[in-house]
Chains A and B, each alone.
Chain A
């Protein structure tokens, strides 16, 4: 297996899918001549030409909707959002058109489209560029929401998302593009809607996705040094949610901490807590705790920003609380 970056894994997925299916094209701001704002599409214009790797004006609503229209008549667009912060301008097309057209046409018209780009906070980009919107999209029936946390998943999940017949919101980790990992050689896909146990453990279940997979794994490593054996469950897909993997893990460990980059109110963790308490209430030996971003717009100042983010110490502390090794905060 080759070790490559998350960015290159996405690049491979795009190239392979454009090669595989002439109906697949990539469209967005700076994807072609500039090679992508985050260089995910590097070299693709040269390989596939301007009809299939398409630079757009700064018009998120316009080109997102254009993609939806193209998908309604059978093409399979991949629409790059330079970041998901900017996709707020396109959310009408994602929610009111892409997610609805199959249902309101009585099943006649589908919408096989992928909206992809980076989400989550990076470093000191301030309030408007440091946001996590997965719970917004996951709220909407008709959409799938996918968030890879490793290079191997990034590649396998993007390939599946492109082949899926539904609109898929594919949120990449802005801080993950340079991370490296083993990626299987040759053709493979990773199924949507299937979580993965990234680290087995017996004492507590850490549920995470995207960038917080790294956070949870680091926390688990630190906890191992202190005699706590944490299991790390990477959701990989937020909708449809693989509740089975989460529930069977928690049923074994009896304790659970949910870690996410987004805000706490109505977040992904809130949904998970609802599911776990309803389905396996008797298995729980402690209330489920959540580690999220603080409930504030992201500050610019480096120290304040660090304080606002979900991080390893917060996860370690939460785990100790559900194990009653530490008093609750």
Chain B
């Protein structure tokens, strides 16, 4: 791959806006990859506690879907959400500091890896009970419809969550009431160590949409452009017709379910993981950009170094940030008393 001369993009039929978008996506995906690698290291060193579920291998899914949203749209996810938090635009510093449990974290050290929030970006968690966020995402869409705005709600969950009641109850309501919500099944093949074929009566999960009177689509989650295009269609349907969509986006995680289990050996083989690595979402995009003359070795190296420096800065920030003050233990349990509390109880 070395030594390919880079021609100006316009010579290869790629318009500058597209070229810029591809570069942004590549950068975001690299950011997530490096961030997660550093998070894994910090976890191994005991600097990050609790559960920690890495997003490595699934980067195109978060980046492709979130680039289809508007700033005022709503996003909610499960506990493997570092990638989505970063793709939504949360600062690597705030996210890393949260993993470290520091006062400067996006949830002020009270949420942790599984509970990343940024209300200013309508990124409303990080939820730790499988499928528990599906009714919440449905509620954001209900609120948009109730208020008559054209906001949409993007609700992520793993493929194993399609077997829980909250999935069925939510999608039935969204289909019945025509709510502007996009349900994204992040199908990485395994719920912890249980393969889809061992947990779901049908393995083409998007077909479940038929039960809820909404379109179901299946998407190659390792190709960011395909993810973006499919999400655009779903967002358009939600925004213009106030109608839900079920997207099954097929992806793969190279790492274990969490930091506490091996990448392979029990429920899947090393060969399988290696096979999926051949379709790495970053490599897929990188190759396409090189072929289009949008990237060469030097540019890739520079981008990689820039992103790595940003992640290292985030780690340094997290390391140096203070723990929450002891009395933070007692704040945010209840809402602060309002000035009109006398009248409003």
Contact = CB atoms under 8 A, between A and B. Distances in A.
A165 B335 contact: yes
A67 B343 contact: no
B187 interface: no
Contact of B105 (A61, A106, A160): A106
Contacts of B136: 65-66, 68-69, 72, 97
B183 to A, nearest CB: 13
A64 B169 CA distance: 11
B127 interface: yes
- With a 10 A CB-CB cut-off, give which of B118, B129, B146 has the most chain A CB atoms: B146
Contacts of A275: none
Contact of A102 (B106, B132, B140, B334): B334
B81 to A, nearest CB: 13
Interface residues of A, number: 50
Contacts of B134: 65
A214 interface: no
Nearest to A165: B335
Given A59-B173, A62-B173, A102 B335 contact: yes
A62 B166 contact: yes
A57 interface: yes
A186 interface: no
Given A62-B170, A73-B74, A104 B139 contact: no
Contacts of B122: 73
B68 interface: no
Interface in A45-90: 51, 56-57, 59, 61-75, 89
13 contacts: A56-B173, A57-B172, A63-B173, A65-B139, A66-B136, A66-B142, A66-B170, A69-B139, A71-B139, A102-B333, A103-B332, A163-B344, A165-B338
Ranked 5 nearest A-B pairs via Cβ: A69-B139, A65-B135, A62-B169, A160-B345, A106-B108
Interface of A: 25, 51, 56-57, 59, 61-75, 89, 92-93, 96-97, 101-110, 112, 141-142, 144, 159-161, 163-166, 189-192
Given A62-B172, A105-B119, 12 more contacts: A25-B146, A51-B146, A62-B168, A62-B169, A66-B136, A67-B139, A72-B139, A75-B146, A104-B112, A106-B117, A107-B332, A165-B338
